[in-house]
Structure formats: C-alpha cells, structure tokens
C-alpha cells in the first residue's frame, strides 16, 4: 500500500503541477508529499521531477514512469470496481459538475438517495453554469444541458427538456396575451444571456420561426429570470424543469403552446475511455431511472398542450 500511495502521489504532483496543490488534493501535508517523492526516486535510482519557472515538471524518465503508473492505477480501479459490483457496492470519490439551477432543484435529492444507497461513496459536487474541463480539473462526470461542444467526451442523454414561454397572470392582464410568435414584438421580454442562441425559436409545421426578444432586464441566472417573471416584469423563455412548479401553482402561465419549441437534452458526459468506473455507472443508471421517459417537469405542459 505504501508503494501505491507513492505512485498516486507522483501522478498527482504532475497533474496538479506542484507539491502544494497535490497536498491539498490528497489531503496531506506538503512534507509528506515531498518524502514520498524522495523515497520513490531513491528506490528507482533516478530523478523523476525537476523544477522550472512553470513549476514542477517531469523529467524524461518521469514521463515514462507516469505513463506506466497511469496504467497500473487504472487497472487497480477497474479491479476494485469489478469486485465492488459483485457485492453491489460502490465506493470511492465521485467528482461531479452540474448546472446551478437544474442541479439545486433536481439533482440534490437524487444525489442524497445515491449517498444513502451507497454509504462508502463520497460525492463532491460543483454547481456551476461554467463548462468545466473534465480532464484538466479532474471531474469524473458532468451534467450538461443543451448543445455539447466537446466531441471527445462520452455522452449519455438522460432526459429531454423543452423551452417554454411563461408570464404571470398580472403581466398578461396588463399587456395582453400573445397568440403568435410575431405578437412578441413589443412585449417586455426577460433575456437570459447564458444562451448560445439569442433568438427565441418556434416551429409552425415544418417552418421554423425565430424572434429576437427585446427587453431591459437581462441575466445569466435562470433563477433570476424566473423570479422576474413571477413578479410580473415580463415574458420569460425558460426550460420546463425550471418553471413547471410555478405553472402548477398558477404563478406563471405557459404561452404559445400551439407553436412547439425545439427539443434539447440533459446529458451526462464523462472522460473518454472504454472503462466506466462503477461510481459513474451507478450515477448514470440512477439519473436515467429518475428522469428517463417523460420527466415530471414536462407532464404538465403535455397535458395543457392537449387541451
């Protein structure tokens, strides 16, 4: 086990770029990291790391040794996963990135159930709308919504999601209800600046209609847009998972349901590789089981569209 700790420490120092960062990630002191590296270099009889203006970098021997360490540690993890799955137990540390609004509203209870079902599993979640670098930042997986840009990642769609136009009853009483997408011109729109597509898009048969919304309130927070819509400030274009509760409560009314919106997806992405760690596999299976098919947040919209 001491040798494995040294291998893990060596790999962590290279991937994090320094002794301090490696110590923080491994939860030990810098002096312990230094002793492990020294012991490893002494046993091997060669220098593995050198210092430069960019920090600590591997020597040529260090690069060769790291490649072999990566294979050894990957095979060890696969062996542990195989044994753990025999007993239907998952252990280890799952580092997950998830979008803020969806994560807090919908993932929190799912991950709580996952933690209860697997008491040896550690879960470390970063709730952020920033697209993280899975490999560079050492995440095991990420939940992402909409269009995916990095084709090198392995992708699994877990649920569909639709955009829906909503406004409060008070706003509609004051400004009128749009009946067609073209009626949105002149309305006070709440603009989500985190979208890659600035237009609001609708389908009319085979024809696609694009409307450029205008409004004085903008935000990169879906929750902020939701609260503004409930307050009666304007019309919002929000994902169904964010507004379904407000629609059910009567705080918001869906608009233009006769004009379908393009469907996009909620996905789990993971780093490339044929081996799926048990902790990632159980995460994906749990999310598919919970959100697959027609999610709860789309059922109220489906019922209203059929009226």
- What's the mean pLDDT when you consider all of the chain? 85
Over 90: is that where the pLDDT of 299 sits?
no
For the segment 260-285, the average pLDDT, to the nearest whole number, is 84
Return d(Cα 68, Cα 257) in angstroms, integer: 57
Query: Do residues 230 and 252 lie in contact, with contact meaning Cβ atoms separated by under 8 Å?
Result: yes
- Tell me the β-bridge partners of 277: none
State in Å, rounded, how far the first CA of the chain is from the last one.
65
CA distance 182 to 210: 9
pLDDT in tens, 67-118: 888 888 877 776 666 655 554 567 788 999 999 889 988 999 999 999 998 8
> Are 187 and 272 contacting, i.e. CB atoms less than 8 angstroms apart?
no
Q: Which residue has the higher pLDDT, 4 or 55?
A: 4
pLDDT of residue 226: 95
Q: Are 301 and 244 in contact (CB under 8 A)?
A: yes
Dist. CA 211–CA 201, nearest whole Å: 6
Range name among 31-40, 216-225, 249-258, 297-306 with the lowest pLDDT average: 297-306
Count H helices and E strands in the chain, helices first: 11, 13
Over range 25-33, report the average pLDDT: 87
pTM of the model: 0.68
CA nearest to 199, candidates 210, 188, 214: 210
Domains located in the chain, CATH noted? 2-86 (1.10.10.10), 92-160+264-299 (3.40.190.10), 161-262 (3.40.190.10)
Alpha-carbon distance of 12 to 198, in angstroms, equals: 41
């Amino acid at each position: 086990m001491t040798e494995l700790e040294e291998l893990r420490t060596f790999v962590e120092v290279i991937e994090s770029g320094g002794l301090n960062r490696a110590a923080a990630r491994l939860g030990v002191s810098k002096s312990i990291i230094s002793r492990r590296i020294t012991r490893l270099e002494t046993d091997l009889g060669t220098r593995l790391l050198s210092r430069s203006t960019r920090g600590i970098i591997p020597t040529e021997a260090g690069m060769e040794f790291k490649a072999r360490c990566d294979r050894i540690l990957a095979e060890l993890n696969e062996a542990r996963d195989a044994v753990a799955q025999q007993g239907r137990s998952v252990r280890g540390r799952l580092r997950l990135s998830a979008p803020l609004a969806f994560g807090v509203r919908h993932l929190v209870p799912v991950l709580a159930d996952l933690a209860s079902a697997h008491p040896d599993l550690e879960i470390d979640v970063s709730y952020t709308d920033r697209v993280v670098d899975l490999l560079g930042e050492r995440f095991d997986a990420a939940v992402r919504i909409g269009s995916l840009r990095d084709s090198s990642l392995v992708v699994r769609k877990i649920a569909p999601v639709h955009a829906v136009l909503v406004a409060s009853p008070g706003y509609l009483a004051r400004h009128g209800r749009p009946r067609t997408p073209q009626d949105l011109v002149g309305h006070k729109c709440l603009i989500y600046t985190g979208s890659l597509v600035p237009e609001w898009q609708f389908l009319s048969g085979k024809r696609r209609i694009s409307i450029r919304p205008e409004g004085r309130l903008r935000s990169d927070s879906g929750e902020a847009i939701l609260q503004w819509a409930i307050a009666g400030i304007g019309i919002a274009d929000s994902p169904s998972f964010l507004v379904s509760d407000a629609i059910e409560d009567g705080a918001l009314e869906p608009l233009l349901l006769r004009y379908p919106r393009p469907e996009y997806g909620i996905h789990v992405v993971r780093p490339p590789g044929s081996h799926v760690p048990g902790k990632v596999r159980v995460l994906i299976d749990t999310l598919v089981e919970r959100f697959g098919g027609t999610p709860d947040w789309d059922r109220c919209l489906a019922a209203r569209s059929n009226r």
